[in-house]
């Protein structure tokens, strides 16, 4: 007699893929492959951006920066200053704790998600020193944006873990839209406040996404021995 070993492959019964039904036996392998490809592609984006950033400021960046700042209102600049702490350690640490409190799947691998959300911003800080590209104002290095890195890592982690929750599709869609919008706003706010060039923000988003996608790949590829 054959036995359904779907749960042994990392997708316990009752846990859904994002916006869908539980994957078949081969679905877990496909899901791991998809997250692995996402991580590699995101790292490739970081590498390309780093090569471009090492050669200085691109002409297009200046145009985008000026356009964003020209259309920003006093209210939008005030909002940008308000949400600024969310991309710092004052936002990262509470974000990790919130994720662990809200997601049983995250708690099962608490060390994995804690590392993913902490190491990505630290890698960004190291990359800033390596690339050495200055911010639009001041003498500090700005490539990649630490705010964009942190928020993207958190957003991608939330999207993956939602796929392993029992929430209904409407709730998942609302949460995904909310966390994605907030992440984008934080990234754009760094340009509005003249803290980063556009390429800094793009690379930060890619670096954070790569870190969380790599964690998702590991979680699917090497499931806990007792997922319950």
Closest CA to 202 of 15, 39, 61: 61
pLDDT digits (tens, 9 = 90+) for 45-77: 999 999 999 998 998 999 999 999 998 889 999
Q: What is the pLDDT of residue 59?
A: 84
Q: What is the pLDDT of residue 202?
A: 97
Q: Which residue has the tokens 């911010």?
A: 135
Interatomic CA distance for residues 149 and 127, integer angstroms: 11
Q: What is the pLDDT of residue 150?
A: 94
Using CA atoms, how far residue 177 sits from 13, 128, 171, 181, 201, in Å, is: 26, 30, 10, 6, 19
Q: What is the pLDDT of residue 15?
A: 43
Contact 143, 200 (CB under 8 A): yes
Burial of 217: CB neighbours in 10 Å, binned 0-12, 13-18, 19+: buried
pLDDT digits (tens, 9 = 90+) for 97-109: 988 998 898 999 9
Interatomic CA distance for residues 74 and 53, integer angstroms: 30
Q: What is the pLDDT of residue 23?
A: 45
Paired tokens of 118: 């902490």
Name residues of the chain where pLDDT drops below 50: 1-24, 227-228
Q: What is the pLDDT of residue 25?
A: 52
Using CA atoms, how far residue 118 sits from 71, 134, 151, 154, 167, in Å, is: 34, 24, 11, 10, 26
- Domains of the chain by range and CATH? 26-221 (1.20.144)
Burial of 13: CB neighbours in 10 Å, binned 0-12, 13-18, 19+: exposed
Q: What is the pTM of this model?
A: 0.83
Q: What is the pLDDT of residue 164?
A: 87
Query: How far from chain centre, in Å, is Cα 59?
Result: 27
3-state secondary structure of 34: helix
Give the count of beta carbons closer than 10 Å to the beta carbon of residue 24.
Answer: 12
Contact 141, 129 (CB under 8 A): yes
């Amino acid at each position: 007699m054959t036995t359904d070993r779907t749960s042994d492959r990392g997708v316990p019964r009752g846990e859904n893929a994002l916006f869908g039904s539980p994957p078949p036996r081969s679905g877990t392998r496909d899901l791991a492959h998809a997250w692995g490809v996402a991580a590699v592609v995101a790292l490739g984006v970081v590498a390309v951006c780093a090569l471009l950033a090492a050669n200085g400021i691109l002409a297009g960046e200046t145009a985008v920066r000026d356009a964003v700042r020209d259309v920003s209102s006093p209210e939008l600049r005030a909002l940008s200053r308000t949400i600024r702490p969310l991309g710092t350690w004052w936002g990262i640490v509470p974000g990790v704790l919130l994720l662990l409190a809200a997601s049983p799947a995250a708690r099962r691998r608490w060390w994995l998600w804690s590392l993913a959300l902490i190491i990505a911003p630290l890698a960004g800080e190291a990359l800033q020193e390596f690339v050495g590209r200055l911010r639009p104002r001041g003498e500090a290095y700005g490539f990649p944006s630490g705010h964009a890195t942190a928020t993207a890592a958190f957003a991608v982690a939330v999207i993956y873990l939602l796929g392993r929750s029992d929430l209904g599709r409407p709730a998942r869609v609302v949460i995904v839209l909310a966390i994605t919008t907030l992440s984008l706003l934080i990234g754009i706010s760094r340009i509005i406040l003249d803290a980063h060039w556009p390429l800094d923000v793009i690379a930060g988003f890619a670096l954070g996404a790569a870190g969380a996608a790599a964690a998702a790949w590991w979680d699917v590829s090497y499931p806990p021995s007792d997922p319950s």
